[in-house]
Amino acid sequence: MIMTFGKHRGKHLRDIPADYLVWCLDNVSTLQPTLRREIRIRLGIQTGPQPNNLPVVARVLDPWYRQLAREFHPDCGGSHASMKAINRARELLVELAGVEK
């Protein structure tokens, strides 16, 4: 799917940095439902109800990541370096937990 607005307008979702997509989910209230769903899929955020038998990491990883992204995103007063570290930490946790992206 193609991004329809913002600085990444016209780019495919796979080519847009994850931190920007997280920001879109948390801050763009007029996001089209289809685009919101595709962004959630791209970020590996489960779109339906999460079963309780998932590993703890899988249940807490996405909320943890979104909270840190809101706090440390460069557009919110954070730095590019801190967002890179958060993104890398998420990648490692996903690998360790065996959760699909």
pLDDT in tens, 24-69: 988 888 888 889 888 888 888 866 655 555 566 666 788 888 889 8
Q: Report pLDDT for 11.
A: 94
Q: Report pLDDT for 80.
A: 93
Q: How far is CA 79 from the centre of its chain?
A: 17
Put simply, whether the predicted model's pTM sits higher than 0.75 gets the answer: no
Q: Report the C-alpha gap between 64 and 101 in whole angstroms.
A: 15
Per the domain annotation, does 86 fall within a domain? yes
CB of 61 closer than 8 Å to CB of 50: no
Per the domain annotation, does 82 fall within a domain? yes
Per the domain annotation, does 1 fall within a domain? no
Q: Per-residue confidence at 85, pLDDT binned at 50, 70, 90?
A: very high
Q: Report pLDDT for 72.
A: 92
**Range(s) of the domain holding residue 14:** 6-97
Q: Report pLDDT for 81.
A: 94
Phi and psi torsions of 2, nearest 5°: -100, 140
Per the domain annotation, does 40 fall within a domain? yes
CB of 87 closer than 8 Å to CB of 93: no
Q: Report pLDDT for 79.
A: 93
- What are the contacts of 71-79 at 24+ separation with CB within 8 A? 73/19, 73/22, 73/23, 75/23
Q: How far is CA 6 from the centre of its chain?
A: 17
Q: Report the C-alpha gap between 76 and 69 in whole angstroms.
A: 9
